[in-house]
């Protein structure tokens, strides 16, 4: 379509018209409506009309039809208002539009870009994959966005040029370049925004290589959350090396380098040196302080001696007792029994006589001593027949004592309770045993229930369960004291295999307290294993991955051998240059090992700050711009390219 130029009011205008007659009419209409004087309001209106025309026409593919539809609507309204023909009004609208565009090309172009961005941004957000928006490989997103841009650009150019092949191809090419550039520029913009807005954190001071390794190893939020949960369980002294095989390898790799070994090994050795004190404090808090069983037993024995005066007081009011019925019952059993049981009862029968005669004694003290003697005979006896016969005899004598010395049972109850507690100190020792001698949890539960029941004239629960607790606690203390360096041995003794010891400790101390104690032992076992494996372990495969990465960091970028061809002098210069690069690479590797090594063994607040920083970084957007920003970037690039074509 030919372009005609006209100068009016000091400005030059371009008018597109199909022929001279149409151009003359457009010029005449423009001149008739043009003001005699160019005022600010006129220039403002001209700019507004130019930008509005560009905005409507800038919409891809449908822009020309959309803009022409607006022009026709305006012409129709003017025809009704002015009474002129529709065709004349339409020609006038076209003339004014052309003049305004010619006078304000910049606002027209900006309007076109704005229209394209406004129209295409919602489309791109609705179908992000088609425009390379979102996550995924950059190359793939660039190819997809370029193909989409080529299709839209080619179609738009074809419509605007009347299907001109050259213009269509040019539009497709510009769309391809502009569309393909969108994801690349969006990634750069997103990375820039992220860099400028990212707060300083515990990772910011690390070197680039260290941050890269951290991004690779801890990019999975689920893995990071699992590490965080394990660390929280182990407490403030825990490190990433304690909960992660990868970070164990990092610590070992860093410890293998002379320049960083002390910085890695020394903190672990110091932590290990305080293991026994730390474990002891935790066990005291959960299971109570440990006692020395021999001292407790000595105290109980001393208390038994304090009970003996009660017997003297009881016998002060004693009455003579006829033991004839007891002697007759014993005699009947003696004539019936044979073997050791018969012999044992024969000895008991003789104890009831006055010394040196066959006459029965009526002194209750004789019965008391006979009962004591029977207790001695029962101690250690394994023959069931003997035990049964002696127990029956003891019961008969005890019943006689109750009648002859009514107050004796109070003394018996106090003495027997102390005796039971002394026995409980011995019963508690094998409770945590493993192997064939291991007690079942049900057996321990029965021992505790029976031990708590009062016996004889005793009032209130027995102290037997407490003595069993003290005995078990003392055994745990003995295990930690004799295996202070080897926490794995402590764990094997206390926890054992399976779940029995955990259940038995729960019965004795309450399950929560038992779990806290076992967790403390497990924690120190893990700490000890970490220290051993980092400082002297043989599992070199674990550190290989970190070592490979470390070698890659420290590997120099060698000067190409064919860089020059200047003989010996050039080769000497090349050796010097490579030596300098070697030094730089070694320095980088040393910094990398130091940075990552410190992260792997960090404890307490520094460790928590590192993990918090990792979590915060994992929750930030990636280097790619967010979808809305990416869509706007794509739309601006593509519309700018099409505007340049027009």
What's the confidence (pLDDT) of residue 562?
45
4 or 489, which is more confident = 489
What's the confidence (pLDDT) of residue 225?
85
Does this model's pTM top 0.85? My answer is no
* Phi, psi angle pair for 565, to nearest 5°: -135, 55
What's the confidence (pLDDT) of residue 337?
92
In percent, the amount of the chain with pLDDT more than 90 equals 28
Q: Note the pLDDT tens digit of each residue in 48-95.
A: 888 888 788 778 888 788 888 888 888 888 888 888 888 888 888 888
Residue 143 pLDDT class (50, 70, 90 cuts): confident
Helices (H), ranges, 337-434: 340-351, 364-378, 384-404, 408-427
What's the confidence (pLDDT) of residue 67?
82
pLDDT surpassing 80 at residue 192: no
Distance, CA of 128 to CA of 306 (rounded, Å): 91
Q: Note the pLDDT tens digit of each residue in 260-310.
A: 889 999 999 999 988 888 999 999 999 999 999 999 999 999 999 998 888
In percent, the amount of the chain with pLDDT more than 70 equals 79
Residue 197 pLDDT class (50, 70, 90 cuts): low
What b/e sequence results for 391-404 when a residue is b if at least 16 CB atoms lie within 10 Å of its CB, and e otherwise? Answer: eebbebbbebbeeb
Residues 115-129 have a mean pLDDT of 81
Calculate ∠ Cα 24-30-34, nearest 5°: 150
Residue 33 pLDDT class (50, 70, 90 cuts): low
How many residues would you count in the chain? 646
Residue 566 pLDDT class (50, 70, 90 cuts): very low
Give the dihedral sign, CA 227/229/232/233.
negative
What's the confidence (pLDDT) of residue 292?
94
Residues 174-191 have a mean pLDDT of 76
37 or 472, which is more confident = 472
Residue 581 pLDDT class (50, 70, 90 cuts): very low
Closest CA to 400 of 435, 359, 351: 351
Ranges 120-124, 362-366, 589-593, most confident: 362-366
DSSP 214-283: HHHHS--HHHHHHHHHHHHHH-TT--HHHH-HHHHHHHHHHHTSHHHHHHHHHHHHHHHHTHHHHHHHHH
The SS3 call for residue 64 is helix
Mean pLDDT for all residues in the chain: 81
610 or 578, which is more confident = 610
* Phi, psi angle pair for 438, to nearest 5°: -65, 130
What's the confidence (pLDDT) of residue 18?
67
What's the confidence (pLDDT) of residue 370?
93
Ranges 198-202, 232-236, 456-460, most confident: 232-236
What's the confidence (pLDDT) of residue 573?
42
Q: Note the pLDDT tens digit of each residue in 304-361.
A: 999 888 888 888 888 899 999 999 999 999 999 999 999 999 999 999 999 888 899 9
């Amino acid at each position: 379509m030919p372009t005609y130029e006209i100068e009016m009011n000091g400005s030059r205008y371009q008018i597109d018209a199909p022929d001279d007659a149409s151009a003359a009419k457009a010029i005449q209409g423009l001149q008739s409506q043009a003001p005699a004087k160019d005022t600010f309001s006129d220039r403002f209106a001209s700019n507004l009309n130019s930008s509005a025309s560009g905005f409507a026409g800038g919409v891809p593919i449908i822009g020309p039809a959309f803009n022409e539809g607006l022009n026709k609507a305006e012409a129709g309204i003017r025809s009704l208002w002015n009474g002129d023909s529709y065709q004349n009004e339409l020609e006038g609208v076209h003339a004014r539009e052309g003049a305004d565009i010619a006078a304000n090309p910049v606002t027209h172009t900006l309007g076109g870009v704005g229209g394209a961005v406004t129209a295409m941004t919602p489309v791109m957000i609705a179908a992000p994959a088609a425009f390379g928006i979102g996550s995924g490989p950059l190359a793939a997103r660039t190819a997809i966005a370029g193909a989409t841009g080529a299709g839209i650009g080619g179609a738009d150019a074809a419509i605007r040029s009347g299907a001109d092949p050259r213009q269509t191809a040019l539009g497709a090419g510009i769309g391809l370049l502009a569309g393909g550039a969108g994801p690349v520029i969006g990634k750069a913009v997103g990375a820039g925004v992220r860099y400028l807005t990212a707060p300083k954190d515990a990772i910011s001071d690390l070197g680039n290589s260290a941050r890269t390794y951290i991004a690779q190893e801890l990019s999975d939020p689920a893995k990071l959350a699992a590490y965080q949960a394990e660390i929280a369980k182990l407490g403030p002294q825990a490190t990433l090396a304690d909960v992660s095989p990868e970070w164990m390898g990092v610590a070992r790799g860093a410890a293998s380098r002379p320049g960083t070994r002390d910085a890695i090994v020394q903190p672990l050795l110091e932590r290990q040196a305080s293991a026994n004190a730390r474990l002891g404090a935790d066990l005291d808090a959960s299971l109570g302080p440990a006692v020395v069983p021999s001292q407790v037993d000595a105290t109980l024995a001393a208390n038994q001696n304090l009970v003996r005066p009660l017997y003297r007081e009881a016998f002060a009011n004693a009455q003579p007792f006829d033991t004839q019925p007891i002697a007759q019952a014993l005699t009947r059993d003696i004539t019936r029994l044979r073997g050791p049981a018969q012999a044992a009862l024969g000895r008991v029968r003789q104890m009831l006589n006055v010394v040196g005669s066959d006459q029965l004694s009526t002194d209750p003290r004789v019965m008391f001593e006979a009962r004591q003697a029977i207790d001695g005979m029962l101690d250690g006896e394994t023959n069931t027949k003997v035990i049964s016969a002696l127990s029956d005899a003891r019961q008969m004598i005890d019943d006689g004592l109750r009648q002859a010395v009514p107050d004796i049972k109070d003394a018996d109850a106090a003495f027997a309770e102390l005796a039971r507690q002394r026995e409980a100190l011995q019963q508690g020792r094998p409770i945590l045993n493993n192997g064939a001698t291991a007690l079942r949890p049900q057996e321990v539960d029965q021992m505790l229930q029976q031990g708590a029941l009062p016996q004889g004239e005793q009032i209130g629960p027995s102290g037997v369960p407490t003595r069993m607790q003290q005995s078990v606690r003392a055994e745990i203390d003995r295990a930690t004291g004799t295996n202070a360096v080897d926490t794995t041995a402590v764990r094997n003794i206390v926890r054992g295999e399976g779940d029995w010891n955990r259940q038995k400790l729960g019965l004795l101390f309450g399950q929560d307290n038992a779990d806290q104690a076992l967790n403390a032992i497990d924690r120190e076992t893990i700490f000890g294993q970490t220290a051993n494996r980092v400082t002297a372990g043989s599992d070199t495969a674990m550190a290989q991955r970190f070592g490979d990465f470390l070698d890659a960091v420290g590997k120099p970028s060698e000067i190409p051998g064919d860089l020059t061809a200047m003989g010996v002098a050039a080769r000497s210069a090349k050796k010097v240059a490579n030596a300098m690069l070697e030094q730089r690479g070694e320095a980088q590797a040393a910094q990398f090992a130091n940075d990552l090594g410190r992260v792997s063994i960090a404890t307490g607040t520094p460790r928590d700050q590192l993990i918090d920083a990792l979590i915060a970084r994992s929750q930030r957007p990636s280097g790619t711009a967010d979808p809305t920003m990416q869509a706007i970037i794509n739309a601006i690039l593509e519309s700018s390219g099409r505007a340049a074509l027009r």
